[in-house]
Structure 1
Amino acid sequence: MKKIIFKAIPFDKNLVTLALESGVDAVLTTAEHKKAIEALGRVTVITPAEMPEVAINEKSDEATAVELDKKGKSVCLSAGWEIIPVENILAQVESLALEAESLDRARLAAGVLERGADTIVVTPEGASDLKQIVAELKLSQGKMELQKAKVTSIESAGLGHRVCVDTISMLKKGQGMLTGNSSAFTFLVHAETESNPYVAARPFRVNAGAVHAYAQMPGDKTTYLEELSSGTEVLIVDARGNTSIAVVGRSKVEVRPMLLITAEVQTPSGPVSGKVFLQNAETIRVVSGDGEPVSVVTLKPGDEILCRVDDAGRHFGMRIKEEISEE
């Protein structure tokens, strides 16, 4: 996830307001306008003294940028940078900011040497692309590889505590969260975007499963559903594997009748199976192999649903190399 800064030099109140509404991490401005920006919203405001700008016009400019980094400065390369000098600098520094004057330049900055710049400083020329830049580079967590799994069994599992994850975002058809009994096998549980004659849609909600289940989280981490609380960032995934981040507004834990769903994925090394406990209700949906939401009450053995198969082994939610079996 990249840090996005808007460069408010020269100062323009309308553009700063747009930047704040777009969700930038900080605003770069001259010292004389710092208080004016802080009055518009709670946001980090930095000055050129805190983030010196270096224009790369010749080879010696690369050394200047590296030297500033070694002195503890957050270095920003001016708009107009080229790939080779940026690669040379990235190989020698821990972090680097690059100016970008458009969405295409921001994408390029984020992908140099695969690692990319840690921070993208969007210039006023790129203000019209700010919302898209934030969506792609700040909120997106890359792409998840989903597989079609075949349902092998659906069983009543009695009563259990399940977790409704109510986000502060309006989710869309195809989106949901990846949860399951094992961090190595998670099910795409669909958000409550669909209505029926008895219940209105709740597009901000994912009825994600039992309290003990793992949930895929931003930053290649997992957590137990029971640990989610207001303010936590969760990973939202759609049927094509595209990801974004949503913030939990409320986590509701209630006792409800549960189903145990088991599914199997065929891999080059043989079949792999996984399980998930979901509430037994028509409004709870997984995602079919063709990307459509399907209610758990109509699910039957042989149906294809979307899941994610990964390597097992987590410690406090972080990936580790360990021999582990979870069922």
Structure 2
Amino acid sequence: MKQVLVDLRPWNKELAIAALESGADGVIADSAGPVRELGRILVIAPDGDLVPEQDIHEITIENTEDQERAMEAARTCRIIVHTPDWTIIPLENLVACGDNVIAVISSLKEAEQALTVLEKGVAGVLVRTDDPDLVRSVSRLVQSGTPGQKLSQLTITLVKPVGMGERVCVDTCSLMTDGEGMLVGNTSSGFFLVHAETLENPYVAPRPFRVNAGGVHAYLQVPGGKTAYLADLKAGDRVMIVHGDGSGREATVGRVKIERRPLFLVEAESEGQKVSVILQNAETIRLVRPDNTAVSVTSLKPGDIVLGRIETGGRHFGMAVDETIIEK
């Protein structure tokens, strides 16, 4: 996820509070002391968690020599770049060098441009302003701007009971809406969009913070293009919430519930590729149709269409790798 830093030089208590309340990743200050009195956040300061010009370098680009110096630095360390006339070209050149560039911005428009330059965007922004509302706006922009997922239509080929086993409920610190859920699959090459428990039903009250995600063995997509085993999740971990339209956002895990329940095997295919997932055999467990409505796994039948994601390659410690891996 992109980082949001806030410049507190000179000290500005209102900006510091806005940074803390909006979920900014860190601040730059002349001293860590005043920040620590307000809350816990990464502080870049001579007495902070990171030290300026030691752990992170600030560079102002005013000419081609400055740009070349910044490009060289960006290859080996994290840099904060300020372009006084705010031209896009230096940022394009720097982003092309790697993922170490944080751009100084002073408006929401500048943040939008920096975060999308070369379609990839900078690694983060440093908000330099006297306006606490801008800090909040930029934080919202970054938190809602998680890259979208390219979802595929999956044609159901098989649904059958497979006995008892442990399944995982992922309870997040965020409320989900209809059409949202998490991408879960038996293998790293195919995922189903499992719907959150947002809907009314005769058996249990809605739990819009929860996704009953599937068997303990399954892969779940998490931020940064990675995956995690459902069994490994714990409070404080970050997961991806995905909508049927492909948009995504991050959420924090508040609790994980693993319980023994009857299970269903769901198999599907998309463009010749087979995918599968094991879910709890219950009416309240749902997948997502192409129109973003939910369909219960107990009513699925061959030929039904649901949403998911197809990937290639395998995974090693959750990271995509280009090697020969057979999963079935």
TM > 0.5: yes
- Range moving further from structure 2, 243-252 or 63-72: 63-72
Unmatched tracts of structure 2, length 5 or more:
none
Q: Name the residue aligned to 2:309.
A: 308
Q: Does 1:102 align with 2:140?
A: no
Which of 34, 37, 52 pairs up with 2:35? 37
* Structure 1 equivalent of residue 20 of structure 2: 20
Report % sequence identity: 42
1:23-172 matched pairs, under 5 angstroms: 23-31=23-31, 34-47=32-45, 50=52, 53-63=58-68, 65=70, 74-78=79-83, 80-90=85-95, 95-124=100-129, 127-138=132-143, 140-172=145-177
Q: Does the aligned pair in 1 maintain the 2:61–2:84 contact within 8 Å?
A: no
Q: Number of aligned residue pairs: give it.
A: 321
Rounded to whole Å, the distance in 2 between the matches of 1:249 and 1:158 is: 29
After superposition, the Cα gap between the structure-2 partners of 1:99 and 1:79, relative to the gap in structure 1 and judged at 3 Å, is farther
Structure 1 residue corresponding to 2:211, chosen from 206, 209, 216: 206
Q: Residues of 2 paired with 1:194 and 1:125: CA distance?
A: 43
The whole-number CA distance in structure 1 between the counterparts of 2:225 and 2:99 is 21
> 2:84 & 2:176 partners in 1: Cα distance?
35
1:159-203 C-alpha deviation (Å, 9 max, x unpaired):
111001111111222111111111111100011111223311111
Q: Distance in 2 between matches of 1:71 and 1:261?
A: 46
- Distance in 2 of aligned mates of 1:45 and 1:73: 15
**1:86 to partner: Cα distance:** 2.7
Distance across 2 between alignment mates of 1:69 and 1:283: 49
2: CA distance between counterparts of 1:92 and 1:278? Answer: 43
CA RMSD of aligned residues (A): 2.5
Alpha-carbon contact 1:264-1:273 (below 8 Å) kept: yes
Task: Return the offset for 1:67.
Answer: 7.1
Distance 1:114 1:126, change over 3 A: farther
Matched, 1:318 2:319: yes
Write the distance in 1 (CA, Å) between the matches of 2:210 and 2:21: 23
Residue 75 of structure 1: SS of its match in structure 2?
A: strand
How many Å apart are 1:140 and its aligned residue? 4.4
CA shift in 2, pair 1:80/1:30, >3 Å: farther
Gaps of 5+ in 1: none
**Residue 320 of structure 1: how far off its partner (Å):** 1.4
Q: 2:234·2:255 contact (CA, 8 Å) conserved in 1?
A: yes
The aligned counterpart of 2:196 is 191
Moved more, 202-211 or 243-252: 243-252
Q: How far does residue 239 in structure 1 lie from its aligned partner after superposition?
A: 0.6
In structure 2, relative to structure 1, the CA distance for the partners of 1:162 and 1:189 (3 Å cut) is same
The one-letter code matched in structure 2 to 1:37 is V
Contact 1:312–1:325, Cα closer than 8 Å, also in 2: no
TM-score normalised by L of structure 2: 0.88
Offset at 1:131? 3.8
TM-score by length of 1: 0.88
